[in-house]
Structure 1
């Protein structure tokens, strides 16, 4: 578990990374004052909201890089590479709120029957990854609560995020992973 101080630091770095990239076109280096424990490999997402509306969200679901490096990378990507939105402008930056979600390692849910997923997933605690063949979709834990989803709706929306049918979670070849996220907001 990270502290609120750690979360505030990650938000500060995410904002600095985006601001520097938008102003100078450069990626910042890991600050010298970065605490050692923020260099552990962890998954992370950075979400940008403007006027309480999504403006960008990109992340690494797997722990493939040190948390601080991953935060810098995905913050910039959320600002300029989210295919759902045009690149953030420097002028917009003052209207954007940053959110950093640090993830636990995804765990495959093992069930005898796909309908058992409904009993295994906890809304407000679990994030989901749905995988079928080369298709993969992810929704963060907070999405289900923000949109008042029940477990079945959460599964269906994660399937859609993967570009699959809303019922794909009922197929035996579909894999469902859960993870938890520690959310830090401005």
Structure 2
């Protein structure tokens, strides 16, 4: 779905509000009266440090189960208090956190064999969803850009994320999907909100 800059900024502000209200007051905010269509969405919370940002939580819904505002509220709270990799966010941390919302297109399975699959993936444009016989894993399109991965590292890490060996994506029984995302992020805690990936410098050709 198409998300305007104004709608994206509203979603990021809603994610922050949902976490602040829940962490400080144990209150779940109500979604705005205006509704956006159902869409997959992830909320990422980062902790601002002197050297940049550290991941503080990231949870979402790959598929469009609920109206977007409601999904953002639920994902934001879950990212703050239910991400098993981190302790729950404390109220004292809020002034050091930045919020990021990724609105996803529906995943589409990549057809063909390994060579064809690999050629269809563009780093910076495509997120990956891998399903194999023992589970699944998802990586947002901004992740390989932020971590400087090439295509082989990206494919290995989506396998790790799914709890699988790094070459399980080559197994014919495994299913590999791509999706895209409109990504909106605070430049600093409670600061300006920008859309990521709006110029060609955000992408690079992974198949050269």
- For normalisation by structure 2, the TM-score amounts to 0.85
Aligned pairs (5 A) from 1:134-173: 134-173=134-173
Indicate if the aligned counterparts of 1:115 and 1:170 stay in contact, CA closer than 8 A. no
For 2:178 and 2:4, the matched residues in 1 are separated by 23
2:183 aligned with 1:183, yes or no? yes
In the TM superposition, residue 15 of structure 1 has moved relative to its aligned partner by: 0.6
- In the other structure, the counterpart of 1:24 is 25
Q: How does 1:9-158 map to 2 (within 5 A)?
A: 9-32=10-33, 34=34, 36=35, 38=36, 40-51=37-48, 52-111=53-112, 113-158=113-158
More displaced stretch, 5-14 vs 23-32: 23-32
Distance (Å, rounded) in 2 between the aligned partners of 1:149 and 1:71: 28
* SS at structure 1 position matched to 2:91: coil
Asked whether the equivalents of residues 32 and 69 of structure 2 are also in contact (C-alpha less than 8 Å), the reply is no
Q: Alignment partner of 1:91: what SS?
A: helix
* Secondary structure of the structure 2 residue equivalent to 1:77: helix
Task: Report the Cα distance in structure 1 between the residues aligned to 2:3 and 2:32, rounded to whole angstroms.
Answer: 18
Q: Residue 27 of structure 1: SS of its match in structure 2?
A: coil
Aligned residues: 181
* Contact 1:103–1:181, Cα closer than 8 Å, also in 2: yes
User: Where does structure 1 differ by over 4 angstroms across 4 or more consecutive aligned residues?
Assistant: none
Offset from partner CA, 1:117-156 (integer Å, 9 cap, x none): 2101011100000100241000000001111111121111
**CA displacement at 1:24 relative to structure 2:** 1.8
Deviations 1:103-130 (A, max 9, x none): 000001111x223221010111000001
RMSD over aligned CA atoms reads 0.9
Structure 2's unaligned 5+ residue stretches are: 187-208
